[in-house]
């Protein structure tokens, strides 16, 4: 059989990434992270688009070079069509389409969240279907039932903030820089998770909610740890709040992380019970969190589930996950229009 070579491009947010995969095996996975946003405390869409324009050609060239694959031997170009920042998506999308047109190769449009799920197949190509995937990123929190690489269904999702936002917004309240998720993870390692107890939302179905947690942390810090409820008479001065945070940072991070992880894993367990599917997986940037990774493994051992977790490089945004998704869509002959006017909208 002739090998299938896919060149993939990811540009949905603030990472410009390119990867090459041959027959589902990742040969290169390059990424240019945009440092320009750090001083703004979050991603600035306009700056992200401009940085993608600067990075996209060198990143694609590097991915081809590292894979030792020549551009004319590529069978298809895969790219992130949506969801994401519209300007960022347009840069990657127009680049991918122009390349496909000039090479006379097919184009494959990839849904970013489907790609996060399929990142699990990069290192576990024989993974059993169906499986349930807890997909947790900066913009999404979903429970996905996966029947095959190209058939999946969202059976639960957040009704407000995403898990990554819960980490990042909590970190902001603690005065930590963006993105705060990895910092909470780091400080939590030396903290006591049972020191502060934050509430768990009671949502009946498989949906998630994180906005209440953020508010309870806000009130708790405003009262310098005296109460979770809003008590105007308890409001501490900014100096008192800072002193409280500094004295308790590791325990605060461990307690916040523990609550976010328990909200996620309780819903995953509920989904297993409801569907009877005991193959479980993690995906998305938040699956880099050590508390969540340990937690899912402990849960799998306790209840005899089978768990799969991608390596850290395949958890946060990357082009290898777009390449593997492109590969399965190529096998399924799911090609996209080369019309340069088409919009940034993808289907699973
Ligand atoms: O999937 P991703 O790279 O980008 C999106 O598609 O959103 O996810 C980014 C999110 C951010 O909110 C970031 O804080 C979070 O993933 N994140 C983490 C960790 N590493 C990344 N959150 C908690 N612990 C981590 N170790
Ligand atoms: Zn993502």
Q: Other C-beta atoms within 10 Å of 104: how many?
A: 8
Which pLDDT belongs to residue 348? 61
- Segment among 131-145, 202-216, 239-253, 333-347 with least mean pLDDT: 333-347
Superfamily of domain covering 5-119+318-331: ATPase, nucleotide binding domain (3.30.420.40)
- Does any ligand 1 atom lie closer than 6 A to the CB of residue 187? no
Structure-token pair, residue 97: 């389409």
- What is the 316 CA–ligand 1 centroid distance (Å)? 6
Q: Give the Å distance between the CA of 327 and the centre of ligand 1.
A: 25
By DSSP bridging, strand 151-157 and strand 141-148 are antiparallel
CA–CA separation, 86 vs 278, rounded Å?
37
* Residue 344 binned pLDDT confidence (cut-offs 50, 70, 90): low
pLDDT at residue 328 in the model? 98
pLDDT of residue 347: 60
In the numeric block, which tokens belong to residue 128? 């059993």
The protein residue with its alpha carbon nearest to ligand 1, atom 7, reads: 138
Q: Name the average pLDDT for the chain.
A: 94
Q: Answer whether residue 213 shows pLDDT above 60.
A: yes
Q: What pTM was estimated for this model as a whole?
A: 0.93
Q: What is the pLDDT of residues 293-313, one digit of tens each?
A: 999 999 999 999 999 999 999
Question: In this structure, are strands 5-10 and 76-82 parallel, antiparallel, or unpaired?
Answer: parallel
Report whether residue 182 contacts ligand 1, using a CB cutoff of 6 Å.
yes
**Is any ligand 1 atom within 6 A of the Cβ of residue 295?**
no
Cβ 119 vs Cβ 320: under 8 Å? yes
Ligand 1 near 286 CB (within 6 A)? yes
Strands 141-148 and 107-111: unpaired
pLDDT digits (tens, 9 = 90+) for 146-190: 999 999 999 999 999 999 999 999 999 999 998 899 999 999 999
pLDDT average, residue stretch 24-32: 97
What is the CA 255 to chain-centroid distance, rounded?
22
Distance from residue 317's CA to the centre of ligand 2 (Å): 5
The CA distance from 283 to 268, in Å, is: 13
Atom 16 of ligand 1: nearest residue by CA position: 285
Per-residue pLDDT of 116-132, as tens digits, reads 999 999 999 999 999 99
The answer to whether 270 and 205 have CB atoms below 8 angstroms apart is no
316 lines ligand 1 (CB under 6 A): yes
Cα–Cα distance between 53 and 50 in angstroms, integer? Answer: 5
- Strand residues in 91-164 grouped as ranges (E): 107-111, 131-136, 141-148, 151-157
Note whether 5-119+318-331 and 128-314 share their fold: yes
Distance (Å, rounded) from C-alpha 108 to C-alpha 330? 7
Task: Decide: helix, strand or coil at residue 26.
Answer: strand
The CA distances from residue 253 to 32, 177, 221, 223, 262, in Å, are 29, 14, 12, 17, 14
Q: Separation of 113 CA from ligand 2 center, angstroms?
A: 7
Give the ligand with the smallest distance to the CA of 321: 2
Domain 128-314 fold: Nucleotidyltransferase; domain 5 (3.30.420)
Domain ranges across the chain:
5-119+318-331, 128-314
Q: Is the CB of 181 under 6 A from ligand 1?
A: yes
Contact between 284 and 158 under an 8 Å Cβ cutoff? The reply is no
- Residue 179 CB less than 6 A away from ligand 1: yes
Q: Place 2 in a pLDDT band, splitting at 50, 70 and 90.
A: confident
Amino acid 346: pLDDT: 61
Atom of ligand 1 nearest to the CA of 168: 14
Write out pLDDT tens, residues 267-277.
Answer: 999 999 999 99
pLDDT at residue 43 tops 90: no
Phi, psi of 104 (to 5 degrees): 70, 35
């Amino acid at each position: 059989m002739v090998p299938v070579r896919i060149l993939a491009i990811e540009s949905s947010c603030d990472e410009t990434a390119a990867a090459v995969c041959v027959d589902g095996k990742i040969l290169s996975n390059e990424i240019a992270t945009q440092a320009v946003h750090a001083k703004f405390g979050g991603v600035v869409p306009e700056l992200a688009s401009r940085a993608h324009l600067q990075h996209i050609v060198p990143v694609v060239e590097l991915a081809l070079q590292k894979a030792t694959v020549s551009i004319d031997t590529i069978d298809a170009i895969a790219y992130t069509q949506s969801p994401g920042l519209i300007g960022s998506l347009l840069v990657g999308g127009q680049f991918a389409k122009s390349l496909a047109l000039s090479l006379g190769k097919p184009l494959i449009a990839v849904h970013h969240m489907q790609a996060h799920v399929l990142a699990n197949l990069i290192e576990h190509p024989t993974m059993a279907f169906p499986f349930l995937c807890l997909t947790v990123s900066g913009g999404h929190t979903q429970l996905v039932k996966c029947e095959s690489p190209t058939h999946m269904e969202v059976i639960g999702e957040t009704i407000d903030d995403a898990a990554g936002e819960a980490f990042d917004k909590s970190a902001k309240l603690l005065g930590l820089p963006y993105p705060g998720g990895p910092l909470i993870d780091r400080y939590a390692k030396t903290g006591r998770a049972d020191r502060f107890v934050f509430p768990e939302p009671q949502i009946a179905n498989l949906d998630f909610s994180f906005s209440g947690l953020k508010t309870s942390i806000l009130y708790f810090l405003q009262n310098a740890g005296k109460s979770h409820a809003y008590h105007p008479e308890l409001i501490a001065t900014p100096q008192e709040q800072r002193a409280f945070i500094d004295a308790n940072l590791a325990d605060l991070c461990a307690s916040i992380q523990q609550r976010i992880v328990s909200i996620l894993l309780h819903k995953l367990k509920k989904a297993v019970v409801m569907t009877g599917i005991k193959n479980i997986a993690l995906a998305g940037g938040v699956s880099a969190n050590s508390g969540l990774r340990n937690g899912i493994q402990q849960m799998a051992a306790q209840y005899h589930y089978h768990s799969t977790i991608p390596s850290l490089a395949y958890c946060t945004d990357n082009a290898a996950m777009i390449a593997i998704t492109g590969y399965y869509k190529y096998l399924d002959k799911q090609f996209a229009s080369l019309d340069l006017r088409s919009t940034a909208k993808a289907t699973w």
